[in-house]
Structure 1
Amino acid sequence: MGFEEEAVEELYSKVWSHRSAMQRELNRGAHGEVFALRQLAFHGEMTPSKLAELLRVSSGRVSSVLSSLEKKGFVTRKPDPDDRRVVRVALTDAGRAEIECDMEKMRSAVRWIFSQMGERRTREFVELMREFMTYMSICNPGGPRPTPEEVRKAFEENE
């Protein structure tokens, strides 16, 4: 077994399959209210169908999530002024505050982890993650592997 296969096995058995408290918290919001709030904060006002596309869930699921968020005062749904058949979803000030609080908690936890790792190892980790994610962005499972030219171009775009 080459180092590549050993590394894949290590990632699967020790890293990706291990669910830390932080991973569970991130996954909790992957298709629900937290993720919807994050998408609205990042992309701004949008239609429920666009939100469903971003969350990769059904329109029924988005409707349920939006109803819950609306009851909490985190979002509003209103007709599009140009086409009253279209509904637009927007964050309220309370929704914006909620997502900012959520993101700050996550940032604080990651800062603590980095403080434990130290500056040198943190910088190495971030650089290695940037490199890894660049390769992941061009490598399609089951598809042909990127050419050296495609790899070079991907790294130029990510500088």
Structure 2
Amino acid sequence: MDKRQLRDRLTASLSRLYEGEAFACLADFLQGEISALYHLSQSRGAGMNPSALSEKLRVSRSRITATLSALRKKGFVTLRGSEDDRRRIWVTLTPEGAEFLRRKQQKVEEYFDRLVEGLGEANVLDLIRLIDLSIQIASA
């Protein structure tokens, strides 16, 4: 098989992988509203300001504003003004937001538990090694 055929086969295989429900759930944790909830959950109740959250998620301030507005309407976050500086807003996760995130995370873990079970330890370790190598090559 020549390099072009290998590239095309790899691309097609990765496309099929990402079209699956397990990876769609994982992608939610890497972008969008659930990613924002996840990062807020990592603050352990301390909350974050929208600027810091936009930097973490690598999105524009206008995008994070829209995301936080949607999450607030769903009851998943609270936004309050800073006591020290009225221009600053502080965002915290609500119990409803934490529960929603927990259910999503549980679903992702169930998918990957099935994947680990189906592949077995040796294949999972090989897959991790190949993913790490791919990241290293792509980052060079």
Compute the TM-score of the two structures, normalised by the length of structure 2: 0.77
Corresponding residue number in structure 1 for 2:137: 139
Q: Any stretches of 5+ residues in structure 2 without a counterpart?
A: none
Aligned mates of 1:97, 1:135 — CA distance in 2 = 35
CA–CA distance in structure 2, aligned partners of residues 60 and 85 of structure 1: 16
Larger Rg: 1
Counterpart for residue 93 of structure 1? 95
1:78 to 77, 80, 83: 80
Q: What is the one-letter code of the residue matched to 1:90? A: T
Mapping for residues 8-157 of structure 1, pairs under 5 Å: 8-14=7-13, 16-18=14-16, 19-28=19-28, 30-44=30-44, 45-115=47-117, 117=118, 121-141=119-139, 143=140
* 1:26-79 CA-partner distances (Å, limit 9, x unpaired): 335643211111121234521111221222222111111111111221111122
Higher helix content, 1 or 2: 2
User: Deviation above 4 Å: which 4+ runs of structure 1?
Assistant: 4-9
Aligned residues: 136
Q: Percent identity?
A: 28
For residues 127 and 85 of structure 2, the distance between their equivalents in structure 1, rounded to whole angstroms, comes to 44
**Cα pair 1:31 1:55 within 8 Å, conserved:** yes
Whole-angstrom CA distance in 1 between matches of 2:101 and 2:34: 7
Structure 1, unaligned runs of 5 or more: 144-159
> Quick one: distance in 1 between partners of 2:7 and 2:41?
35
Distance 1:20 1:140, change over 3 A: closer
Q: For the Cα contact (< 8 Å) 1:31–1:56, is it kept in 2?
A: no
Following superposition, the deviation at residue 86 of structure 1 comes to 1.9
Q: Distance in 1 between matches of 2:120 and 2:12?
A: 23
Distance 2:138 2:28 in 1: 27
TM-score (norm 1): 0.69
Partner Cα distance (1:49, 1:9) in 2: 40
Query: Separation in 2 of the partners of 1:89 and 1:99?
Result: 16
Q: Is the CA contact (8 Å cut-off) linking 1:80 and 1:88 kept in structure 2? A: yes
Deviation at 1:5, TM superposition (A): 7.3
Q: CA 1:85–1:8 in structure 2 vs 1: closer, same or farther (change >3 Å)?
A: same
